[in-house]
Homo-oligomer: A and B are copies of this chain.
Amino acid sequence: MREIAKECDILAGSVYYHFKSKDEIITEILNLGIERVTDSVVTALAQIEGNASFRNCLHAAVRAHLQAFHVYGDYTATHLRNFKQAPPDVQLACKKARDDYENIWIGILERGRKDRALLPDIDLGLQRLLLIGSMNWTLEWFHPQGKYTLDELADSVVRMFMDGCAVRAEAD
């Protein structure tokens, strides 16, 4: 609380005029994090043409998700890093926003299946969690100014999810 107050050039006690408790601050930060990444993905999807392929939609969503915490998003990065460690009632207060965001991804992948762009025999729930996991874990190692650009990262994520890395038998 003292550090937060200092950043605002006030003293610790004064923060309690704006927020009832530390947990209320955390709740607001975590919810802002989900709102930002939701906005980022929704906006990206709205900007592509109506007849874009599933692959292009997926690519736009992946890029927007990654951008949300690597380029703009302190709130989103904080959400990803700290949600699991937050107190139970704080986690509960984020549930709706998290579910809404999850449903966006469920919708994206379901569309892929409907378009026959995704294999019919895979578990979309499991694949979705692995896809999002591969993106979220980039918080641990990716730096936008480093060896790879964010666009290269997004390309690789889509490519691994869609095509994999294996050499296919030529007789396929």
Residues of A whose CB lies within 8 Å of any CB of B are: 55, 81, 84-85, 116-119, 122-123, 125-127, 129-138, 140-142, 147-148, 152-153, 156-157, 159-168, 172
Complex interface: chain B residues within 8 A of A125 (CB): 147
Report B-chain residues with C-beta under 8 Å of the C-beta of A135. Answer: 133
| Binding site secondary structure of chain A | helix
Among B136, B153, B164, contact of A164 (Cβ-Cβ < 8 Å): B164
A166 in contact with B162 given A137-B132, A137-B133, A140-B133 (CB within 8 Å): yes
Are B133 and A148 in contact (CB-based, < 8 A)?
A: no
Known contacts A84-B140, A133-B137, A148-B126; is-contact A165 B162 (Cβ 8 Å) = yes
Given contacts A126-B153, A126-B156, A153-B126, contact A167 B119 (CB under 8 A): yes
